[in-house]
Amino acid sequence: MKPLTTTILGVLIFGLGFSLCSLWGLKKGAFNTGLEENKLAVELLSNQDLALTPEFSEYLKGRIYYNIASKYPNDRGFLLRKDWDFGKVHPTRLPPKSFAKDPTFNCSSFTEASSNLSKAEHKTENLP
């Protein structure tokens, strides 16, 4: 091979590898951000000493379900109902889908948010 051909081939392979790694990193970063947001929301909703307004509580539930629907992998370890299910978002306390960045997602409850994720717990008898 000529040196110019080898150089061009090397640059193309490097560019392809860099692009693929960047896309994978962005997807992984979005999941980690969603997971941390959900952990904080669960902590706030679980803490009985805090006096959260009903609207804020509904917003936090909506954000949990939106993150599950849009960012979570289909992995049973991240989709346990007992960790994320706080009941359906009450439609009269919050404007419809005001918690979602993408209004096409139907995610007002854990069941709706995880409907496309086959490894999610869909049975309600597992609740404590």
pLDDT digits (tens, 9 = 90+) for 82-128: 888 888 888 888 777 677 777 777 788 888 888 877 767 665 544 44
Does 21 reside within a domain?
no
Does 39 reside within a domain?
yes
Using an 8 Å Cβ cutoff, are 121 and 115 in contact?
Answer: no
Domain count for the chain, please give it: 1
SS3 of residue 32 by DSSP = helix
Using an 8 Å Cβ cutoff, are 70 and 85 in contact?
Answer: no
- The 10 Å Cβ neighbour count of residue 86 is 18
DSSP state of 2: -
Give me the chain's average pLDDT, please.
Answer: 78
Q: Containing domain of residue 108, as a range?
A: 30-126
Does 10 reside within a domain?
no
Does 19 reside within a domain?
no
